[in-house]
Amino acid sequence: MIRLDRVSKRYPDGTVAVQELTLEVGRGELVVLVGPSGCGKTTTMKMVNRLVEPTGGRIVVDGVDVTDADPVALRRGIGYVIQNVGLFPHRTIEENIAVVPELVGWQRKRRHERARELMELVGLDPAVHGKRYPHELSGGQRQRVGVARALAVDPPVLLMDEPFSAVDPVVRSQLQDEFLRLQDDVRKTILFVTHDIEEAVRLGDRIAVFKQGGRLEQFDTPAAILGMPATEFVADFVGADRGLKRLSVTAITPADLEHPPVVRADDDVATAGAELGDGRWAVVLDADGGLAGWVGHDMLTGAGKVRERARRMEAWVELDDSLKVAFAEMLQWNAGWIAVLDDDRYVGVLTPTTLHAALRRSVEAEAKDVARAEVVLETVQNA
Ligand SMILES: Nc1ncnc2c1ncn2[C@@H]1O[C@H](COP(=O)(O)OP(=O)(O)OP(=O)(O)O)[C@@H](O)[C@H]1O
């Protein structure tokens, strides 16, 4: 959808901002450009909508070479969100959102309806905020207006340059969440600039890590960048805690799970006790495979049914949740294991040991390009 082919930019003063950059953003994909200050991220982005002209290479958007396109028409088809938004101070929020629709000649009623619809989409109340002026909104609300304005004529492509960096970390995290939900709905093709690796990992389908002088160091998924930094520069840039960050982008799969003894809620205590044997505890399931709780070996004495002895499970996670979510739940409940469900069906448990193994296997699986289940780890036991 967006293709950069050996694109370079040398400014008239001789500064090389971007060097032979080749990069592709697929339809509906969100690619984050990340790197230290001055590495050419903004320049790259501005070449896509021709606010800056490349000095070499080709840029194609939706099959059209941008150097052949009329810049004004081109920019109307590409939403642009920048830091500090750049709203018109003397126009209301509704008028600000409707700027491009007005430029392209939409009637007043249609503009009004579209602005209201977009305000709702980005979490603003049209009745409350529509008639206000930019200075009457909070920083986070202004950023939302910026996103709404960029979406006004429903462009297939969005360029976003540090759109959430002018707000405090709490609001920022909230905006990121809302933005991910929004992107799930609208599936735009997005080029997103940030200097914050946490933001890149959270938002990006793929991340392009830049180095000073506009050189692309690595272009890959967040998990691969964190698990297998291609160069020392990338390893330094993503940080010494990249293993921890990687937890948040690695999903739980069935191959990661352990399978402790299982008993049924309807079993007699004596039967369950015998089934458990030497095991210290068991997972308790109800008749249709749902999680009913857990039971300790020492709780299985006397007569009665398992359900009368079982303890309720305080927490569980779903397959496809991240390893980070599982780890956080284990810490919160001070538990040595956590049950994993697939919809309502119990499928196994994760422990700190299996969680760590899952993380290691996921890195090796990617390096060898095989399924995670096929990776056998070297461990202290089997080394
Ligand atoms: N108009 C210009 N003329 C000359 N040099 C420029 C111009 N604009 C940017 N540069 C230089 O090009 C390089 C890349 O700048 P750019 O703004 O693309 O970096 P960036 O990665 O977006 O940085 P930041 O994260 O600080 O915004 C920098 O060295 C910058 O000083």
Residue 76: the pLDDT is 79
82 alpha carbon to ligand 1 midpoint, in Å? 15
Over residues 203-231, the mean pLDDT reads 92
Residue 339: the pLDDT is 94
Confidence bin at 365 (pLDDT 50/70/90): confident
103 alpha carbon to ligand 1 midpoint, in Å? 30
Confidence bin at 364 (pLDDT 50/70/90): confident
Structure tokens at 377: 């780890």
Per-residue pLDDT of 174-200, as tens digits, reads 888 888 988 888 899 999 999 889 899
Ligand 1: residue whose CA is nearest its atom 18: 40
Residue 381: the pLDDT is 55
CA 72/CA 51 separation, integer angstroms: 10
Strand partners, 322: 251
Classified as helix, coil or strand, 222 is: helix
CATH code for residues 2-247:
3.40.50.300
Atom number of ligand 1 nearest to Cα 44: 18
DSSP codes joined into one string, 6-21: EEEEE-TTS-EEEEEE
Per-residue pLDDT of 43-97, as tens digits, reads 999 999 999 999 999 999 988 898 888 888 888 788 888 876 678 889 999 999 9
Our mutation pick for probing the ligand 1 site, out of 4, 15, 164, 191, counting the most ligand atoms within 8 A of Cβ, is 15
Residues above pLDDT 70, as percent of the chain: 98
Protein fold of 254-360: CBS-domain (3.10.580)
Atom number of ligand 1 nearest to Cα 18: 14
Over residues 280-307, the mean pLDDT reads 89
Atom number of ligand 1 nearest to Cα 42: 22
Phi-psi region of 12 (alpha: psi -120 to 50; beta: other; left: phi over 0): alpha
Q: Which of 36, 38, 366, 42 is nearest to 233 (CA)?
A: 36
Residue environment code for 284-310, b if the CB has 16+ CB neighbours within 10 A, otherwise e: bbbeeeebbbbbebebbeeeeebbebb
Examine the pLDDT at 379 and tell me if it is beyond 70.
no
Lowest mean pLDDT among 275-279, 327-331, 362-366: 362-366
Atom number of ligand 1 nearest to Cα 195: 25
Confidence bin at 383 (pLDDT 50/70/90): very low
Confidence bin at 363 (pLDDT 50/70/90): confident
Which residues, at least 6 apart from 203, have a Cβ–Cβ distance to it below 8 Å?
A: 30, 32, 176, 179, 180, 192
* Alpha-carbon Rg for the chain in angstroms: 26
Per-residue pLDDT of 313-326, as tens digits, reads 888 999 989 999 99
Over residues 102-124, the mean pLDDT reads 87
Total-model pTM: 0.79
Ligand 1: residue whose CA is nearest its atom 11: 17
Structure tokens at 312: 């309720």
Domains of the chain by residue range = 2-247, 254-360
Mean pLDDT rounded to a whole number for the chain: 88
Ligand 1: residue whose CA is nearest its atom 23: 38
